[in-house]
Amino acid sequence: MIIKIYLVVGFLICGLFLWATFEGVRILDPGSVTASRPTGGTHFHK
Amino acid sequence: MAGDEQSTPEPSEAVTKPKAKTFSCTNCGAPVTVRYPGLSLSAVCESCHSIIDTSNPNYEILVKHFARTKGHQPRIALGSRGKLFDKQWEVIGFMVRSDVKSGYSWEEYLLFNPYYGYRFLVYDHGHWNFVRMIKERPDVHSAFRGTGSYEMAEYNAQSYRLYNRGDAQVDYVLGEFYWRVIAGSRVQMTDYIHPPEMLSSEFDDKGRVWSLATYVEPGVVGSAFTVIAQEPRVGVAPNQISRATETWKKMSILWGLFTIVLICLELWHATTAMNQVVAQQLINYVPNTKTSDITIPVFNVPKAKGNVRIDFRADVDNSWVWAAGEMVNNTTGASFPFERTCEYYHGVDSDGAWSEGSSRNDVILASVPGGDYYINLDLESGQYKDTNQRVFSVSVMRDIPTYANFFWCLFFLSLFPSFSWVLARQDEVSRWSNSDFSPYQRSIGIT
């Protein structure tokens, strides 16, 4: 039973990868385009 | 099995229905019944527990009042019959044996069928094995596997790995046997396993006898015989099939296949991605100020769907440039916001030269539909020592290969097998915990 479940899960993951590749989607990478303020150099200000 | 220094007698094809024979115990006078006279060479008086030589016309006593007779009760009544592996068997003998060194004991039931001969049912802490003698001599040799060498036995094109070696002695007997039971007799036992089978050799001064045990589920024995006080199974038997291990073996094959599929898809993606520059712009800015409302004019993004990477490069030297903006679809107005900083610092301190940051940065916009786009941009910079005009470079690329999706999918794909591997390993460690030849010795802390 667990093998059948894994078979389905495996196909779903490969399908997800194919879809994400075609669509240019990044899996589990939300918010990466924002929140990049300057640090001013952490070493520089020591 | 105990006493198998003599070869197992093969019943004749023309065996007639055996007639039980009763005689008086020459020690206590109690009646002793032998169910298979002529085949059984010794019998135990149920009254005084003396072992009698039934092949001797005077019923000579082999052992008087065999010691340690108390505390052992057969789980399957002697004389009871049951169908096991499509054959009818009668329980005619019972014995308890133990490992001389550790005292670890187990029970053996001698089964008999006039047409098929003798077999043993072995009970060991809730586990059952069905045992038959084999005439072939398995090939014993050393084999290298992993980091060490192991003793293996080859039988019927199957490799059995050394599991246990030690001396076994007879502690208690009841019923009748096809050999002359000798109280306290010892044999050197060696077990090799290949679940669900176990190959055992028993060696003494009379020679070596091999037997093959097959693991039997307690329910199967329970449906064949009336078993009294069947205990819950303790641990994993040496030759018990572990469901977790079987699942792990199948799952690891599937994991390998799925991983190959993922690698092929990723290679295909990496080699066929457009990776095309669709816009480039150089922007002049004055350091330490804000520059707003910069627009990169309309450019075309090909392909129906895909990602877009915007590369930034700034002339920074112990200073920073922060860019915030959005890529806007000229037709639909759909917006893809972003912000990035280019900052680079370097110097020398008591530890020597140091540097941090980079003059380059990039952002990947996911799932961008094809069409005409423009970019609105605000720039801000700081920590410059002079205010000479500098250049900020923006480059837009379409459909670039990425690797994060591949590693995420591989991670998700590995979750089930990882869990399965942990369960299988637990079972295998438990299986080998009673062995001096465990491949998991370090794991279970045996030195």
ipTM field: 0.86
| Spatial distance between the Cα atoms of B285 and B282, rounded to a whole number of angstroms | 10
pLDDT at B54: 79
Instruction: Dump pLDDT digits (tens) for A1-46.
Output: 889 999 999 999 999 999 998 888 888 865 555 556 777 777 655 5
Q: Which of B254, B341, B356 sits opposite A38 (nearest CB)?
A: B341
Answer whether A1 touches B (CB < 8 Å).
no
| Residue B157, Cβ density class (10 Å: 0-12 exposed, 13-18 middle, ≥19 buried) | exposed
Chains A & B: contacts with CB separation below 8 Å: 122
pLDDT at B146: 64
Q: Does B367 touch chain A (CB under 8 A)?
A: yes
Q: pLDDT truncated to tens, each residue of chain B (447 aa)?
A: 644 444 455 555 445 556 777 887 877 777 788 877 777 777 887 777 777 887 777 777 777 655 545 568 889 998 899 999 999 999 999 999 999 988 889 999 999 998 999 999 999 999 999 999 999 999 998 877 666 678 999 999 999 999 999 999 988 888 888 887 776 788 999 999 999 999 999 998 888 999 999 999 999 999 999 998 888 999 899 999 999 999 999 999 999 999 999 999 999 999 999 999 999 999 998 888 898 889 999 999 998 899 999 999 999 888 899 999 999 999 999 999 999 999 999 888 888 899 999 999 999 998 999 999 999 999 998 887 888 888 999 999 999 998 999 999 999 999 999 999 999 999 999 999 888 888 887 544 443
**pLDDT for the residue B65:** 59
* Among candidates B307, B408, B420 on the partner chain, residue whose Cβ is nearest the Cβ of A24: B307
Question: Cβ separation of A13 and B412 shorter than 8 Å?
Answer: yes
Q: Is some CB atom of chain A closer than 8 A to the CB atom of B429?
A: no
Residues of B in contact with A18 (CB under 8 A): 265
Nearest CA in chain B to A3: B251
HSE at residue A7, side-chain half, CA atoms within 13 A, is 6
Rg from Cα positions in chain B? 40
Distance from CA of B254 to the nearest CA of A (A): 7
Q: Residue A40 has what pLDDT?
A: 73
DSSP one-letter code for B232: P
Task: Give residue B443's pLDDT.
Answer: 47
Cα distance from N-terminal residue to C-terminal residue, chain A: 59
Question: pTM for the complete prediction?
Answer: 0.73
Q: Would you call B409 and A13 a contact, using CB atoms and an 8 Å cutoff?
A: yes
Taking an 8 Å cut-off on Cβ atoms, the answer to whether A3 and B251 are in contact is: yes
Nearest CA-CA partner of B347 in A23, A9, A46: A46
Place of tokens 């059948």: A4
Taking CA atoms, what residue in B is nearest to A28?
B408
- Most B-contacting residue of A1, A16, A29, A36 (CB-CB within 10 A), to test interface: A36
